[in-house]
Amino acid sequence: MTAQLLCVTGTDTEAGKTVVAAAVAAGLRARGLRVGAVKPVATGVAAGVPGEDAALLALATGVPPSACAGVEYALPRSPLAAAIAEGRAVDVDALEAEILRRAGEDGLDVLIVEGVGGVLVPLTDRLTVRDLLRRLGAPVLVVGRAGLGTINHCALTVDACRAAGLEVAGVVLSDVAGGVEPGLAEENARQVGAQCGVAVLGVLPHLPADVLGDAAALAPAAERHLDLGALLSVLGAPDGEAEVVRLDRAHLWHPVTQTSEWLEEEPLVIRDGEGCRVRDARGRWYLDGVSSLWANVHGHAHPRLDTALREQAGRIAHSTFLGQTHEPGARLAAELAGVAPGPLTRVFYSEAGAAAVEVALRIALLAQLHRGEARRTRFLSLEDGYHGDTAGAVSVGRSEPFHRGLDPLLFDAPPRPPSASRSPRCTGSSPRPATGSRRSSSSRGCRAPPASGPTPTAGCARWPPRPGAAEPCSSATRWPPDSAAPATSSPASGPRSSRTSSPSARA
């Protein structure tokens, strides 16, 4: 059995997250749960001496400090700066693996993972604490100061978590240093809850040293000031996979998929992704061998692309080109025209490949008409040339059996075999995704690779690069930046949230 994960992060350093993490651990233990805690990376810890944070977590969970400690650095800086000062590097993959190893140990119901500083504190030159939390996929408890300034800090932290798809379990305000007037703390708590749309699970007052040094006294303090029941409801909520499958089977038709066959399968419910991999609702990772049908060239969760998307959504999500224009569209068109062959100076945007084929057919037809060639109205098509599933695209690219019976909707485009020099049969490649559903086993032409094998596509060929291979894109576009899992299409056990079940692979 894998323990449920709960990540605890702060709005800043010294915000009180270790005290809150320890209080939560002691309170849950008092309720009969088996709780562990880990500080995967810490700075400002002298060699050979247990760190204060690990020691407090150990007190709350009843284990030696070494059982709660992770990688430690002496310099009190960010993990990136502290590691560089010692000639070392933070291995985020190793941190993730160690957390999951501890979560898989027998005898734990909950494993509390305490971050370092805030969510955007750098671990490497490209990865932050938020990236580690995102890999873990667990709910996040945000801890902020109780006094003046905490509203802004909490709002920024909650926004940063949500921008990365992290579930915010709640916010706790902590008067870790003492001296905050209780009325101000309660006022801040109400405003944080209203402004951030998040549950504030309590205000933990300043705890004296005798309480922090006694797990038996720490648990009552947590029970008195924190809403542990609400926190447990988040940890114990069903993962929703069964409900997703039920709704899917009741209301969805999937493209180029026989529904009768789909209903007999155990569907893969995808939750998130990173780089060339996607993760299902049970925490297992898969190679995205077709780059989400060629729509994800640079990898999932690419920071530059995600940032641009959030920035644009902050201005306006959509504006029509019908009678209007806008800066991103005009500038992108100019860049595209700059790399296109000389005569091609204009761009027409389409939302999908099939729609682009429809546009191209219309442009070709009207171009002949305007040239005085009104009789040139027929199109030729290539055999086995799939171009999409709209009427025009199907007319010039039929694919059996999925387009069978559609003749009344289609126009005649006599098929011609592709030239031998350009046939997919001669290259060994396939123009179609390796889904196993594009074509029947008896169809002619190049066979798609079996569904169990990865297909080299633009996205997955770009990252991670093979050892010794030339890198086809700049370091600014490659993602993920650090070491990735071996390229395999087999499910691999991966990060598991508090809502995931056994990581074992499907049979």
Q: Per-residue pLDDT tens for 430-489?
A: 333 333 333 333 333 333 333 333 333 333 333 333 344 444 343 334 456 554 443 333
pLDDT at 398: 84
List the single range of 43-47, 161-165, 275-279, 385-389 with lowest mean pLDDT: 385-389
* Residue among 354, 447, 347 at smallest CA distance from 403: 354
pLDDT at 481: 55
Q: What is the pLDDT of residues 239-274, one digit of tens each?
A: 678 899 999 999 999 987 889 999 998 999 999 999
pLDDT band at 426 (very low <50, low <70, confident <90, very high): very low
Sequence-ordered alpha helix ranges (H) in 226-352: 228-235, 241-251, 259-262, 291-294, 303-315, 327-339
pLDDT band at 156 (very low <50, low <70, confident <90, very high): very high
List the single range of 31-45, 198-212, 357-371, 411-425 with lowest mean pLDDT: 411-425
Take residue 117 and report the two structure tokens written for it: 């500083």
Q: Which range among 154-168, 290-304, 394-408 has the greatest average pLDDT?
A: 154-168
Identify residue 493 by its one-letter amino acid code.
S
What is the rounded average pLDDT of the residues 386-415? 88
Q: What is the pLDDT of residues 78-112, one digit of tens each?
A: 999 999 999 999 999 999 999 999 999 878 999 99
Question: Which are the contacts of 372, defined by CB distance < 8 A and separation ≥ 6?
Answer: none
Take residue 472 and report the two structure tokens written for it: 């086809």
Identify residue 309 by its one-letter amino acid code.
L
Q: What is the mean pLDDT of the chain?
A: 83
Q: Reading across the β-sheet that carries 270-274, which strands appear in turn?
A: 270-274, 277-280, 284-287, 492-493
Contact 464, 484 (CB under 8 A): yes
pLDDT band at 401 (very low <50, low <70, confident <90, very high): confident
Spatial separation of the C-alpha atoms in residues 176 and 10, rounded to whole Å: 12
pLDDT at 1: 60
pLDDT at 489: 38
Q: What is the pLDDT of residues 319-353, one digit of tens each?
A: 999 999 999 999 999 999 999 998 899 999 998 88
If one looks up domain 4-235 in CATH, what number appears? 3.40.50.300
- Cα–chain center distance at 253: 25
Report which of residues 176 and 499 the model is more confident about.
176
Whether 64 has a pLDDT exceeding 70, the answer reads yes
pLDDT band at 498 (very low <50, low <70, confident <90, very high): very low
3-state SS class at 357: helix
pLDDT band at 367 (very low <50, low <70, confident <90, very high): very high
> 379 — phi, psi (to 5°)?
-120, 145
Q: What is the DSSP string of 12-81?
A: STTSSHHHHHHHHHHHHHHTT--EEEEEEEESS--TTS--HHHHHHHHHHTS-GGGTEEEE-SSSS-HHH
Half-sphere exposure at residue 102, Cβ-oriented, CA atoms within 13 angstroms: 24
Spatial separation of the C-alpha atoms in residues 301 and 463, rounded to whole Å: 13
User: What global pTM score does this model have?
Assistant: 0.75
Whether 400 has a pLDDT exceeding 50, the answer reads yes
Taking every pair of Cα atoms in the chain, the longest distance, rounded to a whole number of angstroms, is 94
Q: What is the pLDDT of residues 173-194, one digit of tens each?
A: 999 999 999 999 999 999 999 9
Report which of residues 424 and 269 the model is more confident about.
269
Q: Which range among 89-93, 352-356, 493-497 has the greatest average pLDDT?
A: 89-93
Spatial separation of the C-alpha atoms in residues 399 and 104, rounded to whole Å: 47
CA distances (Å), 138 to each of 117, 259, 496, in order? 18, 33, 7
3-state SS class at 200: strand
Percent of the chain with pLDDT over 90: 66
Contact 345, 337 (CB under 8 A): yes
pLDDT at 436: 37
pLDDT at 389: 87
Spatial separation of the C-alpha atoms in residues 172 and 203, rounded to whole Å: 6
Spatial separation of the C-alpha atoms in residues 39 and 47, rounded to whole Å: 16
* Residue among 464, 462, 429, 463 at smallest CA distance from 448: 429
Q: What is the pLDDT of residues 211-244, one digit of tens each?
A: 999 989 999 999 999 999 999 999 987 667 889 9
pLDDT at 35: 96
- Classify burial at 277, counting beta carbons within 10 Å of its beta carbon; exposed 0-12, middle 13-18, buried 19 or more: buried
